[in-house]
């Protein structure tokens, strides 16, 4: 056996590894992975904010939420996230999760009902990465 370490991507090798993991996972799960994209545009159609996420296995996973600096603090991020959560519920999702760094938007997500379930320290020597989750349905006793 030979171990290869590289920083050069190889589409064929990457696709092979991903397909092998998907094949293994298929024995335990349903295949319901879907992209979810939400955009905020100004009157000219230019993007002023956006959210990149996926839904799968009854979860919404938010990867990126961004609003241009000129349009921040106007509720756009909340509307983007609410729209993603609504679509995720429509797709049958019961939970959401995401991560954010200490210099980003921890308080914003907490105000919207996300709770921390994990944290890693010392990114770049001084930042924390927070892992957050939220239930997308009401729990009834």
In a domain, 125, yes or no: yes
Give percent of the chain with pLDDT exceeding 90: 94
Determine the pLDDT at residue 62. 98
pLDDT surpasses 80 at 140: no
In a domain, 111, yes or no: yes
pTM (two decimals)? 0.88
In a domain, 115, yes or no: yes
In a domain, 1, yes or no: no
Q: What burial class does residue 55 get, using C-beta atoms within 10 Å of its C-beta: 0-12 exposed, 13-18 middle, 19+ buried? A: buried
Q: Name the DSSP class of 124.
A: T
Q: Please give the residue range of the domain that contains residue 122.
A: 32-135
pLDDT per residue as tens digits for the range 16-74 = 999 999 999 999 988 899 999 999 999 999 999 999 999 999 999 999 999 999 999 99
CA distance 123 to 49: 26
Determine the pLDDT at residue 139. 75
Closest CA to 113 of 60, 40, 70: 60
pLDDT interval class at 138 (50, 70, 90): confident
Q: For tokens 């293994």, name the residue.
A: 24
In a domain, 128, yes or no: yes
Percent helix, strand and coil across the chain, each to the nearest 5: 30, 35, 35
Determine the pLDDT at residue 124. 93
pLDDT interval class at 2 (50, 70, 90): very high
Closest CA to 34 of 18, 64, 19, 54: 54
In a domain, 101, yes or no: yes
In a domain, 71, yes or no: yes
In a domain, 49, yes or no: yes
Q: Tell me how many domains the chain contains.
A: 1
The CATH number of residue 68's host domain is 3.40.630.30
Residue 89: what are its φ and ψ, rounded to 5°? -60, -45
């Amino acid at each position: 056996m030979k171990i290869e370490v590289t920083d050069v991507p190889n589409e064929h090798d990457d696709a092979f590894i991903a397909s092998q993991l998907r094949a293994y996972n298929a024995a335990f799960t349903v295949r319901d992975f879907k992209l979810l994209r939400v955009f905020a545009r100004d009157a000219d159609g230019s993007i002023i904010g956006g959210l990149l996420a996926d839904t799968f296995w009854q979860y919404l996973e938010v990867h990126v939420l961004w609003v241009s600096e000129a349009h921040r603090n106007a509720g756009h991020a909340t509307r983007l996230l609410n729209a993603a959560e609504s679509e995720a519920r429509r797709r049958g999702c019961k939970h959401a999760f995401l991560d954010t760094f200490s210099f980003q938007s921890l308080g914003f997500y907490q105000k919207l009902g996300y709770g921390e379930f994990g944290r890693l320290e010392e990114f770049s020597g001084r930042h924390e990465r927070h892992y957050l989750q939220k239930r997308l349905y009401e729990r009834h006793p």
